[in-house]
Structure 1
């Protein structure tokens, strides 16, 4: 199986390639203040906690924090950059047990750790359902966001054969 040279993560994993218990991690990403402000603008959620440095000085955070959904979206984006399911993903079936554990700030460097926790064949041939435990981490090892992601993947082999 081909791997992404920058992350050593397999490219185009099929259902059969997934090993329950296997843990992988992405490259890190630097969060800028512009990233946070742009997400606020695009999503139309421009609450001062995310966009107003002066307002935030009066809060327990002291500076703007990213939306929790920014962190969740970034988790999926960093995984996508690895090309792990580039041509094998059929659909994201959703997220369960998502928790925003700590605030995400500008000027932090983060990465994603994900572990395959379950897999099963779908009722339809040629597909399987994979569950990943996913965490957005700081370079200091703090978990900022965590959740379970359920993905529908192509099977390499058909059960019809």
Structure 2
């Protein structure tokens, strides 16, 4: 990930970024179960999981979404102020322990907000596994600082 964060003006509609891969481990799934309290046996019990259509344990759908959020945060690195919205999210296929997932982030639209210090960016997010299969996808919106806001910052050289 670059040390330089992109501002609102640098995010062109239609531009797309791809994150690095991240392998989802059995330990990740166990930690997520402990953190959330979702201990459904489909995630944790291989014997039970063999009786399901998946035939083995799968990651929590919300774990995949959470990992996607982290991966998307660096692809591209953006001066994000807030995560505003999650819409049209779909869980297309399971994520299994050992899967290597990555995220594509594409700018769908942009809208300046307020006094020009921030803008809303709408993103198309796709989570793909190591076989290029889309396992999750949807649309998100974030609030991003503009160059004007950065220039007015008390920590900037222009201030």
TM over 0.5: yes
- 2:16, 2:75 → 1: CA distance? 14
Secondary structure at 1:134's aligned position in 2?
strand
Assess if the C-alpha contact under 8 Å between 1:18 and 1:116 holds in 2.
yes
TM-score where L is the length of structure 1? 0.87
Assess if the C-alpha contact under 8 Å between 2:17 and 2:76 holds in 1.
no
Secondary structure at 1:13's aligned position in 2?
coil
2:135 equivalent in structure 1? 144
Alignment of 1:105-120 (within 5 A): 105-120=96-111
Aligned length: 150
- 1:20, 1:11 → 2: CA distance? 20
Alignment of 1:69-88 (within 5 A): 69-82=62-75, 84-85=77-78, 88=79
Residue of structure 2 aligned with 1:13, choices 6, 11, 25: 6
Give per-residue Cα distances to partners, 1:21-76, cap 9 Å, x unaligned. Answer: 00100001111111111111111010111111110011111111111111110011
Secondary structure at 2:5's aligned position in 1?
coil
Secondary structure at 1:16's aligned position in 2?
helix
Secondary structure at 1:92's aligned position in 2?
strand
Secondary structure at 2:32's aligned position in 1?
helix
TM-score where L is the length of structure 2? 0.88
Structure 2, unmatched stretches of 5+, are: 153-159
1:30 equivalent in structure 2? 23
Aligned-CA RMSD value: 1.8
- 1:64, 1:125 → 2: CA distance? 48
Structure 1 runs of 4+ with >6 Å offset:
none
